[in-house]
Each structure stands twice: as C-alpha cells, then as structure tokens.
C-alpha cells in the first residue's frame, strides 16, 4: 500500500509557491503495541463516547469546549475553528531563516518528509532545497494540521526536504525548578581529565543501527513462543558490578576502570618491523 501524505499544500518562499506533500518520517508500526482484550471472551475492548446521565452520544453532537472554570466550558463550533486558520491551512510559508544548528534540540517535536507533488513542481523544489543546503539555513514557518497550528523548521534531507514541528516558547519548561539546586562549581580537573579521555575513546560517527530495542525484541520473542504454545523463557539481564560509594576516590576509581575497560575493546596496532629485519629474511631465503 502506498504511503499516504499527512498534509498537502503549498510550500511558499516569497512569491514562489511549490505544491508539496508531507509524510511522517517515523514508522510507528515498528513499535510494539498491545490491544486491550476481554479475557473471558477473548474479544477486543471497545470504547464508546458517553455522557453521564445521557449515555452514548453521536459524533455530530460533540463540540469542542474550553474550560474557563471547574466544569464550566465555552462551546466552540468546529467550523469556527476552521475559519480561523484559512490562511495557513494549505500553505507553509517560509518567513524567517536561521542557522540549521541554532535551534536548540529541546524545541524539536516530530519530523516529516517534504516532497514535490509532481515533476512540474520539482524544479522549484530543488532550487529551495539547494539554496538551504548552500546557506546552511533552516526556514521557519507555520501550518495548520490536525486541529492546531504548528511552528515548523524546514531543512534539506537527502534529495528532499525535512519539515520538523517545533514546540512554541510557552510549551518549554524553564530549567530553574529542576537545576537551581545543582552547584555551579566546576568539576575537579583530575576527574574531568579522565572523563574526557573516556568520552573521546568511545566517540565515533553516529550510527543508529548500532542500537537495538531489546525490550521490543524480547516482547516479540515472547509473543512468538506463546503463539506456538511454548512456555516463555525467562531471561535475566546481566548487570555489571559497579563500585559503590559517592566520594571522589570511588568516582576516580570507577572512571579509571571504565577507561581501562574501554581500552581493551580498541583494535591493537601491530608493532612496527625493526629496521633490517626484512632484508635479513630475504638473505636467509
């Protein structure tokens, strides 16, 4: 089955409008998911929209309500909400540009792929893509989708574009309530040096395929064995022995042990051949 776009509209840069389609960049079906089942009957549990004292209600009778006080709501017709977003409902206009690395990761929400709808739109699409790539910029704009308006950052991704929804400023919590009790005193130099060595030794290019969802794999194995009528095997995760204590000596010891352990995994370089050894082997031959 062909992938269906989650949004269709115009990507606009000043007076240039490009017909585009937007697709989810993540595959939610790859995650393990369960259904709620009624055990006696083996049937799936269904949910009904009900009102206390009224019972089940029709979808047409359900409006949106904004709570102004406890159990007091202002009712809003869905058509009124649609009328508010007419300008952004089918248009993603890039109105501001920032360095692609300037947006804090905390603001990113969900990634989507942007692609031109047809060959006629491809030329203009490639111009915008390459211009963003050469300037190393991300374009910011807003679009209406799924009942709300999103802030979006658009940047190159392979031969296409990626649109990432961003949180608005008011949606981001301030750090003070969580970090205010942490001392601003810098770490001790000796400890910091060992920690830096450990980080540098374990550094390398990002490769998501190097990590596996072990929980999801265990669940799939469990489901497979139960489906075959086998008794599921219980696997206990191995835990590494960790030094206890919270003082500096224990921390330094733990860091040094980690550094030594990581060093064993590094490929060993072959010792350089001594001068004249190859010529002696040729003469003896």
Q: How far apart are CA 263 and CA 235, in angstroms?
A: 29
Higher-confidence position of 113 and 260: 113
**pLDDT confidence of residue 166:** 96
pLDDT digits (tens, 9 = 90+) for 137-161: 999 999 988 778 899 999 999 999 9
pLDDT digits (tens, 9 = 90+) for 201-237: 888 888 888 878 787 788 778 888 878 876 656 555 5
Would you tell me how many other CB atoms lie within 10 Å of the CB of residue 110?
A: 13
Q: Are 166 and 120 in contact (CB under 8 A)?
A: no
The neighbouring-strand residues paired with 50 are 56
Q: What percent of the chain has pLDDT over 90?
A: 35
With a cut of 90, say whether residue 245 has pLDDT above it. Answer: no
**pLDDT confidence of residue 138:** 96
Q: Are 63 and 51 in contact (CB under 8 A)?
A: no
Q: What is the largest CA-CA distance in the chain?
A: 103
Structure tokens at 39: 């055990």
Would you tell me how many other CB atoms lie within 10 Å of the CB of residue 137?
A: 20
201 SS3 class: helix
Structure tokens at 221: 């194995």
Q: State the residue for tokens 């950052």.
A: 153
Q: Are 113 and 23 in contact (CB under 8 A)?
A: yes
User: 49: which residues sit within 8 A by CB, 6+ positions away?
Assistant: 56, 57, 59, 62
With a cut of 70, say whether residue 268 has pLDDT above it. Answer: no
Domain at 7-27+87-171, CATH class: mainly beta
Structure tokens at 210: 């190097």
**pLDDT confidence of residue 263:** 66
Structure tokens at 200: 């540098």
- Cα-Cα-Cα-Cα torsion 85, 87, 88, 90, nearest 10 degrees, comes to 110
Q: Are 256 and 195 in contact (CB under 8 A)?
A: no
pLDDT digits (tens, 9 = 90+) for 35-61: 888 888 888 888 889 999 999 998 888
pTM: 0.68
pLDDT digits (tens, 9 = 90+) for 166-209: 999 999 999 888 988 988 888 889 888 988 888 888 888 888 88
Structure tokens at 102: 């300037």
**pLDDT confidence of residue 41:** 87
pLDDT digits (tens, 9 = 90+) for 63-108: 888 898 888 999 888 778 777 765 557 899 999 999 989 999 999 9
**pLDDT confidence of residue 198:** 87
**pLDDT confidence of residue 247:** 54
């Amino acid at each position: 089955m062909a992938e269906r776009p989650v949004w269709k509209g115009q990507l606009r840069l000043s007076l240039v409008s490009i017909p585009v389609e937007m697709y989810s960049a993540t595959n939610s079906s790859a995650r393990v998911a369960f259904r709620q089942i009624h055990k006696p009957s083996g049937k799936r549990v269904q949910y009904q929209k009900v009102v206390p004292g009224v019972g089940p209600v029709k979808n047409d009778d359900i409006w949106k309500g904004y709570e102004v006080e406890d159990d007091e709501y202002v009712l809003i017709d869905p058509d009124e909400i649609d009328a508010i977003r007419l300008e952004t409902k089918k248009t993603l206009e890039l109105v501001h540009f920032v360095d692609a690395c300037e947006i804090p990761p905390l603001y990113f929400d969900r990634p989507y792929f942007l692609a031109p709808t047809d060959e006629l739109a491809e030329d203009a699409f490639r111009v915008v893509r390459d211009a963003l790539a050469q300037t190393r910029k991300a374009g910011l704009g807003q679009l209406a989708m799924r009942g709300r308006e999103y802030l979006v950052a658009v940047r190159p991704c392979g031969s296409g574009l990626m649109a990432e929804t961003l949180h608005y400023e008011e949606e981001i919590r301030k750090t003070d309530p969580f970090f205010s009790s942490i001392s601003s005193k810098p770490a001790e130099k000796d400890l910091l040096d060992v920690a830096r060595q450990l980080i540098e030794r374990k550094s390398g290019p990002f490769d998501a395929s190097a990590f596996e969802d072990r929980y999801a794999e265990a669940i799939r194995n469990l489901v497979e064995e139960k489906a075959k009528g086998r008794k599921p095997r219980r696997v206990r995760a191995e835990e590494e022995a960790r030094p206890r204590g919270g003082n500096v000596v224990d921390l330094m010891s733990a860091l040094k042990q980690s550094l030594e352990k990581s060093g064993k995994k590094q490929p060993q370089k072959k010792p350089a051949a001594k001068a004249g050894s190859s010529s002696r082997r040729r003469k003896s031959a």
